[in-house]
Amino acid sequence: MLSIRNLHASVEGRPILKGLTLEVKAGEVHAIMGPNGAGKSTLAAVLAGKEGYEVTEGEILFEGQNLLDLEPEERSHAGLFLAFQYPVEIPGVSMIQFLRAALNAHRAAQGAEPLDTAELMALLKEKAALLKLDPSFLSRSVNEGFSGGERKRAEIFQMAVLDPKLVILDETDSGLDIDALKIVSDAVNALRAPKRAFIIITHYHRILQYIRPDVVHILADGRVVHSGGPELALQLEEKGYEPFLTPA
Amino acid sequence: MQMLTQEKLSLEAGAQHLTHLLRSQATGVGLPPSLRDHWLKWVDRADLSTLFTAQHLKEDWKYTPMEFLRHPWELGTLTASSPSFPPEGELPLIQPVESFEDLPALHSLPTPSSPWEALLGASTTYQHYQIREAGQLLLTSSNETGVLPHFVSISIAPHSQAEIWLAPHTGGFLLLRLHIHVGEGASARLYYTTDLPTRNGYLYGILSAEVEKEGQLESYDLTISAPWKRTEFKVRLTGPGASVHLHGASRIAPGEVVDQAIRIEHAAPHTESNQLFKSLVYAEGRSAFQGRIYVHREGQKTNAYQSHKALLWEPSAVAYSRPQLEIFADDVRCTHGVTTGFLQGEMLLYLRSRGIPEETARHMLAGAFLAEVVEKIPHERLRAGLYARMGFSS
């Protein structure tokens, strides 16, 4: 589903990713862990299409398509979803207005008619319940005044609504208390499907106790330096990154 | 337009020409005889050439293009236009009064602080309104060509409730002088809407108000499109508990000018003022905002707030923002804030990353920027109409 090959990327001329290679298949859950400055957030930013990140070498194929050729909205239409680490507040745009525009843009890209209001509201309410979000939050402005936990839940809610093929959770667990982490994890687990893949970028082993990954990668200095099964996360918890940073 | 075929004047010659023209029409017939002579003295002294010489006027007009002075204006005539937003409220519609000797609005007219104000105060074209208990009035003054000075006074009796709809149109130069007296415990709401998409007109409003004890004034200056619009808003809070809330939402289309000059005077203790203005400025457009809060020695326990935010759509859009505080009392709370900037790339990326095409996302964010003000409009149909006319969905 996703093939990242020898990816090099720079920010303001400074190389951050230095030959990252990653292969994610449909149905899989991958965790990417790594110390601060390893390039985890840069990877997320490059996948989302954020400005200021320059890919200098390598390629990213998403279902055979060159992802880097696509605009951010086209990446979304193709089935990519990034749950942001710091979801931005958008005062004046309600969640309903926002998701109506997003859903209808997805539908237009597939040649489908826009949803009518009743269909839209039914879908939004169903998915809000999955995240234990009060339906009143749909009338609020996007992320405005949301607590840290609400924002992260709102990200997963959007994911559930847009029904993507590949989900990248960029430190979704940071700033979540145990209850919120459980709600988010339950929702992700409920959405695990043979046709869907997840990449969980995280600092902590904790979220991986709730969402069991198939593969765990250690990212250091812009490259994947070690990959293994779920037990790798546990070893990291015990030993820290140090033993894994020198290539075997 | 006939004007275009004529020679343009220099700014100075235009100011002189306009001074003579406006003086010639300023007969003071719309003022009570007891005020007339006094006011006509102001008229005699008024000289628009001082816009280029008097320091405070130069400062006041610093960021306002004055090309309109180059037209060799003739006097226009007053016509009624169909308003953009007809009143839909419950309040009875009020008609102008014929007898105006004792109207509080006329007896509380502020001393003119500019030649414009002096020349307009004695205007021959006038209307006076009086509201007792409850009423709404509709002002759709307009002129197709020429320069038209128009004077309107509104007296709101104590403990009454008023809604004022101001929707002027112009194809020439409309100079509107509006003064409102808000009696003790009365409340007034003013909707000033401007939608002049295809006109060449200049719209200049000098709006003033005196608010007595426990009185409330709330206004919404809403611009959908205006080639050139300047609004001066001067409010004097003269009794304890008086309050004023001014709102502005301006969509400044390419090449347009929207200029707002506010002066709030806190002349009594325990008064409150609030200014919330937002300007969305497209290419080559210009927003000029000056907001002055003046707290007199008597204005202890004043609570004043002011905010102007401008969103520049293109590098060629311009916003000038000048907050000015003058405080002569020692126990007050005055806060102000100004922001000017471009659209945040982060917001745009967020919307796009959810599949919303860039143009749609930009458009949503433009609407959202003005929504902070528009959502405060208590009139639902006006709100919806405004979004529709501005091209934003609610």
Span A20-38, average pLDDT: 92
pLDDT band at B2 (very low <50, low <70, confident <90, very high): very low
A41 part of contact set with chain B, CB < 8 Å = no
* Residues in Cβ contact with B270 at an 8 Å cutoff, skipping those fewer than 6 apart: B240, B241, B300, B301, B302
Query: What confidence tens digit (pLDDT) does each residue in B210-237 have?
Result: 999 999 999 999 999 999 999 999 999 9
Distances (CA, A) of B384 to B85, B387, B388: 11, 5, 6
Q: Which residues of chain B does A102 touch, with a Cβ-Cβ cutoff of 8 Å? A: 351, 354-356
How many CA within 13 A on the CB side of residue B348?
Answer: 16
The closest CB to that of B367, out of A48, A50, A92, belongs to: A92
Give the span between the Cα atoms of B394 and B381, in whole angstroms: 12
- What is the pTM (predicted TM-score) of this model? 0.86
Minimal CA–CA distance to B335: which of B304, B361, B360, B313?
Answer: B304
Query: What confidence tens digit (pLDDT) does each residue in B104-145 have?
Result: 999 999 999 999 999 999 999 999 999 999 999 989 888 889
The verdict on a CB contact (< 8 Å) between B364 and A158 is no
Span B184-192, average pLDDT: 97
What is the nearest CA distance from A234 to chain B, expressed in angstroms? 33
Q: Which residues of chain A does B383 touch, with a Cβ-Cβ cutoff of 8 Å? A: none
pLDDT of residue B92 exceeding 70 = yes
Query: What confidence tens digit (pLDDT) does each residue in B51-71 have?
Result: 999 999 999 999 999 999 999
Span B341-347, average pLDDT: 91
Mutual angle of helices A95-109 and A148-162, in 10-degree steps: 30
What is the nearest CA distance from B256 to chain A, expressed in angstroms? 24
3-state secondary structure of B334: strand
Give the span between the Cα atoms of B18 and B12, in whole angstroms: 10
CA gyration radius, chain A: 18
The closest CB to that of A88, out of B346, B360, B371, belongs to: B346
What is the nearest CA distance from B63 to chain A, expressed in angstroms? 30
**Rounded percentage of chain A residues whose pLDDT exceeds 70:** 99
Say what the ipTM of the complex is: 0.94
pLDDT given for residue B6 in this prediction = 65
Contact (CB, 8 A) for B140 and B168:
yes
Q: Which residues of chain B does A106 touch, with a Cβ-Cβ cutoff of 8 Å? A: 355
Continuous H helices in A3-94: 40-48, 72-78
Mutual angle of helices A95-109 and B345-353, in 10-degree steps: 50
Question: Which secondary-structure segment (H or E) carries A121?
Answer: helix A117-130
Contact (CB, 8 A) for B186 and B158:
yes
The closest CB to that of B356, out of A82, A101, A141, belongs to: A101
Span B337-364, average pLDDT: 94
pLDDT of residue A245 exceeding 80 = no
Q: Where are the beta strands (DSSP E) in A135-212?
A: 141-142, 166-170, 197-202
pLDDT of residue B198 exceeding 80 = no
**Rounded percentage of chain A residues whose pLDDT exceeds 90:** 69
pLDDT band at B392 (very low <50, low <70, confident <90, very high): confident
Span B333-357, average pLDDT: 94
Task: Let me know how long chain B is.
Answer: 394
A129 part of contact set with chain B, CB < 8 Å = no
A101 part of contact set with chain B, CB < 8 Å = yes
Backbone torsion region of residue A132, taken as left when φ is above 0, otherwise alpha when ψ lies between -120 and 50, otherwise beta: left
Give the span between the Cα atoms of B345 and B339, in whole angstroms: 16
pLDDT given for residue A243 in this prediction = 83
A75 part of contact set with chain B, CB < 8 Å = yes
